[in-house]
Amino acid sequence: MTIHREGYKSIAIGTMIFGAINFAVLYFFSASLPVLCWIIFFITLFVLLFLVSFFRIPARKLTTGDNLVIAPADGKVVVIEEVIDVEYFNAKRLQVSVFMSPANVHVNRNPISGDVVYNQYHKGKYLVAWNPKSSTENERHSVVIKKNDTEILVKQIAGALAKRIVNYLQVGQKVKQTEELGFIKFGSRVDVLLPVGTKINVELNQVVQGGVTVIATL
């Protein structure tokens, strides 16, 4: 397991806060309230370890395939339905949405290889990520990857806790399947918009792994 580069600053700040809190508690209360010192130590240690785990990148054998669409994120499938996309396609699309809790790995990956033909950031609200309106009203970042005649839109969506979306792609860039697309800090969701008629390989409430689980076959 490694730590994602997006976490270096957050972990450094968290470590300094952890040290400052426990130094102050020990200085003022070690003699009179030793039990309190231990309680605060373990609580702050748990928070620090959780912060570190949030930015983890576990070692995995990633899945690739020319006709496969790979899960762009870890989490639970919360939506499989036809929608009318008004951002890019202006037509019906088959949407698969993966909800990421704060405990999930939060690196996002390219579901297919291809060329980036669209990249757009949208300001918005911070509704809870499982709210259906979050796809169109929340802060989000959309990219479209084109492979041959197939275009797939991947939408990173901020949630009630997620306050920062990071996207690494640029229009004109050639990307490879399962390589990093971006990162969302502190829980959210990712929508994948597929051509209508695409064979879906997952079910509602199924837990998927980013870069590993095949969510659809083209």
Largest CA distance in the chain: 72
Bridge partners of 70?
214
Catalytic residue among 97, 135, 142, 188: 188
114 is written with which tokens? 């291809």
Question: Can 30 be counted among the known catalytic residues?
Answer: no
Please measure the distance between the N-terminal and C-terminal CA atoms of the chain and give it in whole angstroms: 32
CA atoms 123, 125, 126, 130: torsion sign: negative
Just list the catalytic residues.
188
